[in-house]
Amino acid sequence: MAYIIPLNGKVPIIGSNCFLASNATIVGDVRMGDNCSVWFNAVIRGDVHYIRIGNYVNIQDGAIIHCTYQKAPVNIGNYVSIAHNAVVHGCTIHDNVLIGIGAIILDGCIIHSNSLIAAGSVLLENTVVEPGSVYAGVPAKKVKDIDPQLLKGQVERIAHSYQMYAGWYK
């Protein structure tokens, strides 16, 4: 059973039909929508600020979601995939976004809808990702507009596939 830890009077709220891996950790001021999945060794730590997660979000193995004390909460939209070992810190992610494996998103970043952050990329503080774009590199920069096939074949496919994978574990 996942570690669901109340802290400072805040109890994580988990939506319906969510899969939480047995060693996932969710702490404090966290609200998660419906049909989400939080995978093995993922940590969602709402101890120093709030974390809000939409519907159909998958937070894959080893990912970390955290905030900055009294400064930078986390807001995540719908149909977002946060890949293995990614770090999402004090930022806003809109709908239909894929955060690639090992990517790091720092405080104040805003990632607009229908975008992809490539594996291993680092979005420096306060970076604003244009809607419908692909960012890559260290520091991450826009490399191109997202191709409709990439949007459908990666961003949307992964978000929907993780709902199916979660079903295997329920």
Q: For residue 124, what pLDDT is reported? A: 98
Q: pTM for this one?
A: 0.97
- The 10s digit of each residue's pLDDT in 13-55 is 999 999 999 999 999 999 999 999 999 999 999 999 999 999 9
pLDDT of residue 118: 98
pLDDT at 1: 87
Sequence-separated (6 or more) residues with CB below 8 Å from residue 93: 75, 76, 77, 80, 99, 105, 111
pLDDT tens-digit series, residues 124-136: 999 999 999 999 9
- Percent of the chain beyond pLDDT 90? 95
Superfamily grouping for domain 3-169: Hexapeptide repeat proteins (2.160.10.10)
Phi, psi of 118 (to 5 degrees): -65, 155
Question: CA 93, 86, 51 angle in degrees (round to 5)?
Answer: 45
Per-residue pLDDT band at 170 (split at 50, 70, 90): confident
**Gap between the Cα atoms of 166 and 170, Å rounded:** 7
User: How many beta carbons lie within 10 A of that of residue 98, not counting itself?
Assistant: 29
